[in-house]
Amino acid sequence: MGEIVFTEKQEALVKESWEILKQDIPKYSLHFFSQILEIAPAAKDMFSFLRDTDEVPHNNPKLKAHAVKVFKMTCETAIQLREKGKVVVADTTLQYLGSVHLKSGVLDPHFEVVKEALVRTLKEGLGEKYNEEVEGAWSKAYDHLALAIKAEMKQEDSQKP
């Protein structure tokens, strides 16, 4: 894979929109997970903090942390793509993400569900600032981050005895 072209404008769009969402993490974390469950109700059992409840819990620190991680890592990926033309995640982080997602039974389609929830949350949070360019920039960064995690999952899966 050659270098990925991620423009300065794309990076700026991702950073700016993340700054907006950051102003109300509890609200957008909740929205994000509500969207995941709306798109794929069965995904509920994959998250420890959703498993034993009928609704998305308000003020759950684990839920907030997970939502923030998805947005933050996607934003960091955008910066890396712009600066280095590739995803640069520390090996330990990547191994951890690979193993956690593998253990939870995450499959390729699940990454698409999360991406759709991410896009819907951006739409909700940005209001009229939301447009196709913003969606394109986030989608591109997310896709590359997902590819890196999936590659790590494959590697880990192949090393199982």
Of 11, 24, 36, the residue nearest 126 (C-alpha): 24
Beta carbons within 10 angstroms of residue 128's beta carbon: 5
Q: What stretch of H or E contains 97? A: helix 91-103
Model pLDDT for residues 23-51, shown as the tens digit of each residue? 999 999 999 999 999 999 988 888 888 88
Out of 3.20.20.70, 3.30.70.1070, 3.40.640.10, 1.10.490.10, the CATH code matching 8-159 is 1.10.490.10
Distances in Å between the Cα of 32 and the Cα atoms of 19, 66, 113 are: 16, 10, 11
**pLDDT tens column, 107-161:** 888 899 999 999 999 999 999 999 999 999 999 999 999 998 898 888 887 887 7
In the chain, domain spans: 8-159
Predicted TM-score of the model (pTM): 0.87
